[in-house]
Homo-oligomer: A and B are copies of this chain.
Amino acid sequence: MREQLQSEAQHDSAVAASEAAHVEVLSASLEDYLKAILRLERASQAVRASEIAEQLEVSRPSVTGALKTLAARGLVVHAPYGHVALTEEGVVIAEEVERRHVAIRDFLTRVLGVPEEKAETTACRLEHVLEPDVLAHFVRYAAKHA
C-alpha cells in the first residue's frame, strides 16, 4: 500500500498477441476474483455470482461490484442476472495469478518444508506482492534445489 505494487504486468510468454496492453494494474482483491472465477469455470460450467461470493467469503453485493469493475476492464462478461465468464484477456491474467500462486506454494512446501495448508494460504497473499522478476528467482532456485 502506498507504493504502486503490481509492476507493469509482464505477460512474459503467451500474451504478446493480446489487444490493448493497457497495462491493467489490478488490485489484490480483483486478482482474487479472477482467480476464483477461473477455478469455478473449471469445476462448474456456468459460474454464478453466489459461488464466487461463497468461495471468497464475501457478500453477494461485493461480488456484483467487483464484477462490474472487471467487466468495465474487459476481463469478464456477465449479463445482469446471468452467468459469469472470463474474457480471453481475463483468462490470461487469471492464469498468470494462478501460475504465481502455484510457484510460490511449491517453493514453500518443497524448498522450505512449510506444511501444505499453510503454504496454500501464504501463497494466496504473496501472489499479489511478489514482482515477476523476484518470483523468477524463487522459481529458478526451486528448479535447482528440487
Contacts and interface: CB of A to CB of B under 8 A. Distances in A.
B32 A2 contact: yes
Contact of A130 (B3, B5, B122, B133): B122
B137 A108 contact: yes
A138 to B, nearest CB: 7
A39 to B, nearest CB: 16
A22 to B, nearest CB: 23
Contacts of A102: none
Contact of A58 (B2, B118, B129, B141): B2
A113 interface: yes
Given A2-B32, A2-B57, A56-B2, A137 B113 contact: yes
Interface string A100-119: 00000000100111100010
Interface of A: 1-3, 5, 28-29, 32, 56-58, 108, 111-114, 118, 121-122, 124-126, 129-131, 133-134, 137-138, 141
> Which 5 residue pairs across A and B have the least CB separation, nearest first?
A112-B137, A125-B129, A114-B137, A122-B134, A112-B141
